[in-house]
Structure 1
């Protein structure tokens, strides 16, 4: 990739085909879900939805992405990269679009986002990747906090329904396992670096464009970027605050979706249901489409008095506000980023 390559040039025919196939499969899954519940009944609930609440859900999503973009900026500043927030937040929207449309993007979209950031700012790829991974790790703190509070509320009110025990278990494993793996990886980073080099040796032998010495240099640069970021704890604490704010706005569209169809979900349950449903985003479809809606519907039906028709309508409206709107906003930002590059 050359220096004059547009910031979103990772899109090629194969990637576009995978994205379209992913959306097609997700659409089929969602159609089957709606058909199972009752297409006419779900459509009737959606047609009578209060669009004012839906608009508030979309606004909440915009505020969420903006807060996370601010956390991004603070982490970048620690890494020595100064960038105007008005410019950086557009880059963040564009990177979010890339992450949301890419199959498995939710499971490991950091390289994509770091690439977009490095193409659209003065940051090196190593600094970009370090800042993105750091911001993602900071987002785990509110993820664990809100999920934990909601989980505790469930246990306090009644026994945990059997149907959601696997999701609750996965939430615990994810919230504890990811920070633990990150800590172990950092503690034994020298061994990890050499393991990566050894595993990459077969690739280096087959192409002159990739060398082990170059890989070692890039890994050292990335490690140095993490070390620079870790030194400024005050800035990281401020970034963490924005991560918490972003997570609040990330969850609130579910509350707005429920209100839009005349239902009500307690906020404590909202802060459990949203993190739990994100586990479904790990499936190989764009943004977890299809699976997230199904998980949301199951969680709402299991944990609230809402009937399956209402739960399905809530899940769809939540995804419209938190996912479809983010795609529209991010897509517009992506076009702007391409134009200014």
Structure 2
């Protein structure tokens, strides 16, 4: 059951663990009786070292571009100043609908995996957690946002952590399948730009297919009820009985999170596709705001490339995304360097910097609501 600490029906009233918190602190939150004696400052949480390092990296990268590359910063600034504010505002609004669609998808997966006696997750709560997961990815190294989101849901609902991770694995499989389809649709329109980029797209699609196939095999193994313990019997035979039972239980929870969550694949795939289309629409609106003319296939490909480049384990893919998108724009288009730089800066301001700002605001609001509902609470948010 959900643990409520405040009656707020909108922002929620659940604790929001710090994405930059230590493992020790998260352990304390799972065991309140072992809570640290001194409360953790909310300022230190939001403006933590990972956040500061992330922003410092962004500034250092922009400084590198400005000083080492042949750029006309005055022309870039002029391009930014001439951007259509209406299209920019619309791009921001459309971008944040992706959290709603992805939240609906995750809610569907969570509820499919839930036991009959468990309370069902809410759409708005799931959308909040997806945003907080992106926020964690934006300020923390090693892309810990998914693990943070799983822990956040586990702490609030008391659902098994491993089962929650299983639903996120299902999410990633659906995303991989969607990206393969979108890349396949783009390929005929992009390969004409050069052999190198065609090979890059083909290799990317092949990699995603391999990940998808591995995930299907893994889920298939985990989904064999009668063969679950038999498959791992040789592996577990040398473990103590108690540890072996614990491991098998976690495997069964993972199976519930994957197999059970995929009861409604068409609807889950639809919500995921709408989330991707929102991101594609964001980039399209940014190009319109800057008065740039890019083909629909190229916009789709650049959106997917943006997502793949964020897999680099820096906060929000900082450095890799900017350099990668800039290089692709120069290779695949006739845009000038200032125009390409302006496009990258505006799109990243919406998809990266704004997520840090809105995520931090949401984090603080949830923490304040928890404090209002439980004045004795000094840890956790």
TM-score by length of structure 2 reads 0.75
Range with bigger deviation, 210-219 or 117-126? 210-219
Whether the 8 Å contact between 1:91 and 1:337 is mirrored in structure 2 is no
2:80 pairs with one of 41, 46, 63: 46
Number of equivalent positions: 323
* 2:187 aligned residue: 151
Whether the 8 Å contact between 1:104 and 1:287 is mirrored in structure 2 is no
Report the CA distance between 1:319 and its aligned residue. 0.9
* 2:273 aligned residue: 244
* 2:39 aligned residue: none
- Return the alpha-carbon distance in structure 2 between the equivalents of residues 211 and 274 of structure 1: 44
1:102 pairs with one of 140, 159, 169: 140
Give 3-state SS (helix, strand or coil) of 2:318's partner: coil
Gaps of 5+ in 2: 6-13, 22-43, 223-227, 371-381
Is residue 228 from structure 1 mapped to residue 260 from structure 2 by the alignment? Answer: yes
Cα distance change of structure 1 residues 194 and 327 upon mapping to structure 2, 3 Å threshold: farther
* 2:320 aligned residue: 291
Report the CA distance between 1:211 and its aligned residue. 5.0
Looking at both structures, which has the greater relative contact order when contacts are Cα pairs under 8 Å and sequence separation is at least 6? 1
- Return the alpha-carbon distance in structure 1 between the equivalents of residues 60 and 235 of structure 2: 39
- Return the alpha-carbon distance in structure 2 between the equivalents of residues 194 and 160 of structure 1: 51
Two-structure CA RMSD over aligned residues (Å): 3.1
Deviations 1:171-229 (A, max 9, x none): 22332121022123234445886799799x8xx9xxxxx95543442232222332322
- Return the alpha-carbon distance in structure 2 between the equivalents of residues 63 and 48 of structure 1: 26
Whether the 8 Å contact between 2:19 and 2:140 is mirrored in structure 1 is no
> 4+ runs of 1 displaced by more than 6 Å?
194-199
Deviations 1:17-74 (A, max 9, x none): 3443243233312332244123332222212222222111111111111111111111
Cα distance change of structure 1 residues 331 and 197 upon mapping to structure 2, 3 Å threshold: farther
Q: How does 1:77-96 map to 2 (within 5 A)?
A: 77-80=111-114, 82-96=120-134
- Return the alpha-carbon distance in structure 2 between the equivalents of residues 139 and 127 of structure 1: 19
Report the CA distance between 1:254 and its aligned residue. 1.5
* 2:355 aligned residue: 326
Whether the 8 Å contact between 1:78 and 1:228 is mirrored in structure 2 is yes
* 2:333 aligned residue: 304
- Return the alpha-carbon distance in structure 1 between the equivalents of residues 235 and 301 of structure 2: 36
2:208 pairs with one of 175, 178, 181: 175
Whether the 8 Å contact between 1:45 and 1:310 is mirrored in structure 2 is yes
Cα distance change of structure 1 residues 179 and 116 upon mapping to structure 2, 3 Å threshold: same
- Return the alpha-carbon distance in structure 1 between the equivalents of residues 235 and 362 of structure 2: 35
Gaps of 5+ in 1: 205-209
Cα distance change of structure 1 residues 92 and 33 upon mapping to structure 2, 3 Å threshold: same
* 1:26 aligned residue: 58
- Counting helix residues as a fraction of each chain, which structure ranks higher? 1
Q: How does 1:239-278 map to 2 (within 5 A)?
A: 239-278=268-307
- Return the alpha-carbon distance in structure 2 between the equivalents of residues 306 and 49 of structure 1: 16
